[in-house]
A and B are shown apart, each in its own frame.
Chain A
Amino acid sequence: EPEVTQTPSHQVTQMGQEVILRCVPISNHLYFYWYRQILGQKVEFLVSFYNNEISEKSEIFDDQFSVERPDGSNFTLKIRSTKLEDSAMYFCASSLWGNQPQHFGDGTRLSIL
């Protein structure tokens, strides 16, 4: 069964450094998403992306965050200058159409020191 893949599985970064999290969505899916889960808290929506542009973003997704689909397969989340509170599991998801089930990758654990 096709799946969403995320790399790396664990990223350790110094505060203030830039980090890029990578995702390969399911190949025929058209909608792409990033969520995060801080330890002990709910899964929170960050951003959705369709047709090469952001379709919705949450309050969390401020100017320090950006997303990109640099080629036909990858979908990336960049955090420009990381803060301690960015430490979380980051999940990428994709769906075939808008109101269809979103399928999640296994996440990247981001640890900011």
Chain B
Amino acid sequence: DAGVIQSPRHEVTEMGQEVTLRCKPISGHNSLFWYRQTMMRGLELLIYFNNNVPIDDSGMPEDRFSAKMPNASFSTLKIQPSEPRDSAVYFCASSLVGGAWNEQFFGPGTRLTVL
């Protein structure tokens, strides 16, 4: 069975450009999480969805970041306009159902570099 799929795996862009990251959760999983990882701040939760509905976006840094989940098999994280400080690895994870009891499985990540 396929795991969490993310694209692109690497993205290099210039400051001010729009960036869209994509995620396909594990089939049958109802919760989806977007994380950002940097050396300085570690792994940070940005936003998560239960049954396609955003539940908590308190980790989203600012209005430049937005996330959508139009259906159970697809989510996007958009940064507009991008800035150099957004450079990080962005992970998507999914779990079977909501709740902290449930194990989260991570995708391979998107390494974003903003010049």
Q: Are A and B bound to each other?
A: no
Identify the B interface with A (CB < 8 A): none
Identify the A interface with B (CB < 8 A): none
